[in-house]
């Protein structure tokens, strides 16, 4: 089955997941290679089987082919495996789930969750504002459906997902609350102060604002919305033996503000391992 046919089949079978980002109405039917809402707004499937839901163009530093390729290499080597394993361990084992990855990037997280939950008949949706990332995500032969969408105005129906994954991405909590089912799960990952600290200290001087990191503002905002959330610290060292230090360097925005000579020096020196230090924030929608 071609990618466009696979994408169209997913939307046709699970049309109740979606809503029109223009008028808010439900999707009604697929005509030709487009899906129409009840008021006639039309969205065309790309050759890769994706849908473009943005109502206006978006410029983003994240729409960088080299960064996404580097990120795929490091994630496929297992950079976040212990984190995702912790998440999948918490998911119900006895029923099929509808799972959405908010800010899914090039799709590695969603693909790994699918592999961990083989034969569960789950439905997987990933969205991002980066067209390059979404196009890369479609290169996998997984079951996931991918689209380009605005976090602040999601093209999904209310109470349409059992699980929301948010790995290091921005959040729109009102929208998350709207699309999450009763008894559904929201998992948000945020970095701690020692996340990638070796790389941070290689690229910046002590008096630079990027030399250290605090998640106080992000954590406070999350707790404001979800005061009873579960907070779990996950810390480990990751060996770079199955990928390259260069990929690690270019997968993260840390290199954006670094001086060229610092980047060159870091590439020459390299690292054998890196610290992963995050918080897993979990809420169950009761």
Beta carbons of 60 and 92 less than 8 angstroms apart: no
Architecture category of domain 50-284 in CATH? 3-Layer(aba) Sandwich (3.40)
Each domain of the chain, given as residue ranges in start order, spans: 50-284
Q: Is 193 annotated as a binding residue?
A: no
Q: Is 103 annotated as a binding residue?
A: no
Beta carbons of 104 and 128 less than 8 angstroms apart: yes
Long-range CB pairs of 39-45 (<8 Å, 24+ gap) are 45/4, 45/7, 45/8, 45/11
Distance CA 65, CA 63 (A): 7
Q: Is 86 annotated as a binding residue?
A: no
Per-position pLDDT tens, the chain of length 286: 899 999 999 999 999 999 999 999 999 999 999 999 999 999 999 999 999 999 776 666 677 889 999 999 999 999 999 999 999 999 999 999 999 999 999 999 999 999 999 989 999 999 999 999 999 999 988 899 999 999 999 999 999 999 999 999 999 999 999 999 999 999 999 999 999 999 999 999 999 999 999 999 999 999 999 999 999 999 999 999 999 999 999 999 999 999 999 999 999 999 999 999 999 999 998 7
Q: Is 184 annotated as a binding residue?
A: no
Q: Is 147 annotated as a binding residue?
A: no
Distances (CA, A) of 90 to 67, 113, 184: 31, 12, 12
- What was the pLDDT predicted at 18? 97
- What was the pLDDT predicted at 63? 72
Neighbouring C-alpha atoms within 13 Å toward the C-beta of 38: 8
Q: Is 284 annotated as a binding residue?
A: no
- What was the pLDDT predicted at 65? 87
Structure tokens at 25: 């109405």
Distance CA 185, CA 89 (A): 12
Q: Is 104 annotated as a binding residue?
A: no
108-116 and 81-90 helices, crossing angle to 10° = 50
Name residues whose C-beta falls within 8 Å of residue 236's C-beta, 6 or more positions apart in sequence.
82, 275, 276
- What was the pLDDT predicted at 58? 65
């Amino acid at each position: 089955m071609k990618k466009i046919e696979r994408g169209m089949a997913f939307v046709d079978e699970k049309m109740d997941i979606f809503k029109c980002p223009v008028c808010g109405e439900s999707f009604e039917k697929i005509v030709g290679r487009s899906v129409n809402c009840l008021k006639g707004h039309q969205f065309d499937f790309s050759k890769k089987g994706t849908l473009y839901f943005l109502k206006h163009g978006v410029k983003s530093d994240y729409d960088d082919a080299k960064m996404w390729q580097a990120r795929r290499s490091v994630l496929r080597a297992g950079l976040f495996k212990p984190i995702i394993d912790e998440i999948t361990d918490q998911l119900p084992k006895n029923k099929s789930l509808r799972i959405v990855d908010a800010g899914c990037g090039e799709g590695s997280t969603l693909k790994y969750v699918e592999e961990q939950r083989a034969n569960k008949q789950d439905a997987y949706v990933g969205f991002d504002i980066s067209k390059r990332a979404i196009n890369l995500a479609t290169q996998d032969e997984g079951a996931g459906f991918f689209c380009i969408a605005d976090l602040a105005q999601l093209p999904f129906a209310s109470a349409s997902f059992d699980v929301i994954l948010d790995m290091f991405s921005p959040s729109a909590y009102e929208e998350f609350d709207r699309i999450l089912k009763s008894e559904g799960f929201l998992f948000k990952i945020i970095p701690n102060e020692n996340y990638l600290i070796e790389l941070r200290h290689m690229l910046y001087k002590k008096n630079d604002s990027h030399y250290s990191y605090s998640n106080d503002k992000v954590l406070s905002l999350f707790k404001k919305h979800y005061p009873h959330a579960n907070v779990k610290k996950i810390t480990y060292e990751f060996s770079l033996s199955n990928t390259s230090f260069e990929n690690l360097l270019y997968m993260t925005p840390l290199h954006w503000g670094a001086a060229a000579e610092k980047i060159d020096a870091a590439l020459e020196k390299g690292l054998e391992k890196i610290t992963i230090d995050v918080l897993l924030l979990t809420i169950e929608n009761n």
